Amino acid sequence: MKCSAFIATSVDGFIARPDGSVDWLETAGQTDVDLGPQADMGMNAYMASIDCIIMGRKCMETIAGFNLTPEQWPYGDTRIIVLSNSITEVPKHLKETVEIYAGTIPALLTQLESEGYTHAYVDGGATIQSFLNLQLISEITITRAPIILGEGIPLFGPSSQSIQFKQAKAVAYTNDFVQVHYHVSYQ
């Protein structure tokens, strides 16, 4: 099945501050600009293209910390699988929404495929890195907020292989966020 990532970073490549906070995503750029039909910066079209979400524990905990109401929940009723070997229970208010998976990533994908899933949204820095190292991410969309954080949790980490991108696309939104989209080419 296809696996892709759609993630926001700072210009210096961090997905969160060192403590995991993503407050800067709300305050960076021209917050008073009305992007009109582009206000979601491609998120709705992306969500319509995927049929399940695979995220890391930390990513899930960040989202849990937002205490979103059902109306604010951005994932609709899309199935969400949280990869974790360290927890067996999800935060109470997410019990109906997410499930924990403790096996290997290839086994998970085999299982999802057998259930008819075709396109997974891979979320969270560590999880995206794991999928890249397994050569499983085929497309990545990076939306860079126009800010330098200086430190934080990086999207990309040390990897044992050289990963090349192709079919680059880029758009600068009028709020000064820049979104790039690549297909991933494993050597």
| Site for a second copy, rule CB under 8 A | 11-13, 24, 28-30, 132, 142, 144, 146-151, 154-173, 176-178, 180, 182
- Let me know: does 141 contact 4? Beta carbons within 8 Å: yes
In terms of CB distance, is 48 or 168 closer to a second copy? 168
CA distance 29 to 1: 35
Task: Classify residue 67 as left (phi > 0), alpha (psi -120 to 50) or beta.
Answer: left
In terms of CB distance, is 73 or 165 closer to a second copy? 165
In terms of CB distance, is 34 or 96 closer to a second copy? 34
CA distance 117 to 112: 5
- Closest distance to a second copy from the beta carbon of 170 (Å): 4
In terms of CB distance, is 121 or 177 closer to a second copy? 177
- Closest distance to a second copy from the beta carbon of 103 (Å): 26
- Closest distance to a second copy from the beta carbon of 75 (Å): 26
In terms of CB distance, is 63 or 152 closer to a second copy? 152
Of 45, 39, 38, 8, nearest to 23 (Cα)?
8
- Closest distance to a second copy from the beta carbon of 83 (Å): 21
CA distance 167 to 175: 24
Whole-number Cα distances in Å, 95 to 34, 90, 92, 99: 35, 6, 5, 7
- Closest distance to a second copy from the beta carbon of 116 (Å): 32
